[in-house]
Amino acid sequence: MTLRFVEACKLPNRFGVFTLHGFEDTDTGIEHLAITHGDIADGTPVLARIHSECLTGDSLFSERCDCGYQLEAAMRQIVAEGRGLILYLRQEGRGIGLLNKIRAYKLQDEGADTVEANEQLGFPADMRDFGICQPMLAHLGVKSLRLMTNNPRKLESMRQHGLMVVERVPLQVGRNPHNTDYLDTKANKLGHLMKPAVAYRAPHRKADGGASAPERETA
Ligand SMILES: Nc1nc2c(ncn2[C@@H]2O[C@H](COP(=O)(O)OP(=O)(O)OP(=O)(O)O)[C@@H](O)[C@H]2O)c(=O)[nH]1
Ligand SMILES: [Zn+2]
């Protein structure tokens, strides 16, 4: 896996002013992004989100999942802390791609859960590869993370790729009537760490994304 840094620019958005770094995985041609805020290269652990692309949730406001809410909450928390980063990885649909995700959603419309739908299409439940994170973080000068995630497999994958995660910061936002079954399946079949007590709050993404300060856990 070879990483090429292409360029960085300012990215002001509703939450603050970030820097957008563009990379290419030269083995696959896939373009990945890092979105950073503040001084992240001072050697201390950095609040971080490793976010897998979800066009429907991140850009089309879909309530079938929690991705858009998590992205927004991560940006808000990073700005509130004054520093942090998001690696935005282009592995749509847990790696099966956008069109296959639409196929999987159709199967879910007909009763399959998110894992069964992938399997019916001939894919594993999760095809993602987080190997690109290591060279991206090395380029950014980041040595250790406080990772915003509910996914213990993501934590394990980070460790397998030699990344130091000193803390898991839960990121449980966005439960709504359209994604209740989906989130429950993630907890029950994929092992996501969801606390029932936090389930659920406001329907509006803005209010929700700005929800309370993150809980902290030692990873
Ligand atoms: N194949 C498939 N992919 C989905 C579905 N819903 C969301 N996704 C994708 O799942 C990815 C996000 O993974 P999740 O399992 O929701 O969460 P995670 O990133 O592993 O864990 P967190 O860090 O806690 O968010 C994105 O790439 C989404 O496009 C679905 O029903 N089927
Ligand atoms: Zn999503």
Q: Is residue 169 part of a domain?
A: yes
Residue 198 confidence class, pLDDT cut points 50, 70, 90: very low
pLDDT at 216 over 90: no
**pTM, 2 dp:** 0.90
Catalytic residue, candidates 76, 103, 128, 205: 128
pLDDT reported for residue 197: 44
Question: Which residue range(s) make up the domain with 135?
Answer: 3-91+128-190
- For residue 197, give the 3-state DSSP assignment: helix
Residue of minimum CA distance from atom 16 in ligand 1: 67
* CATH number of domain containing 25: 3.40.50.10990
pLDDT at 209 over 50: no
Ligand 1 centroid to Cα of residue 56, in Å, is: 11
Number of domains in the chain: 1
164 or 218, higher pLDDT: 164
Q: Is residue 20 part of a domain?
A: yes
Ligand 2 centroid to Cα of residue 42, in Å, is: 32
Residues 159-194 have pLDDT tens digits of 999 999 999 999 999 999 999 988 889 888 888 888
pLDDT at 87 over 80: yes
Q: What percent of the chain has pLDDT over 90?
A: 81
153 or 81, higher pLDDT: 81
pLDDT at 6 over 50: yes
* Neighbouring residues of 168: CB distance < 8 A, sequence distance ≥ 6: 146, 147, 149, 155, 193, 217, 218, 219
Element (H, E) at 47: strand 46-52
Q: Is residue 68 part of a domain?
A: yes
Nearest Cα to Cα of residue 168 among 192, 189, 184, 152: 152
86 or 206, higher pLDDT: 86
Q: Is residue 48 part of a domain?
A: yes
pLDDT at 129 over 90: yes
Residues 22-63 have pLDDT tens digits of 999 999 999 999 999 999 999 999 999 999 999 999 999 999
Nearest Cα to Cα of residue 20 among 98, 31, 3, 28: 31
Q: What percent of the chain has pLDDT over 70?
A: 89
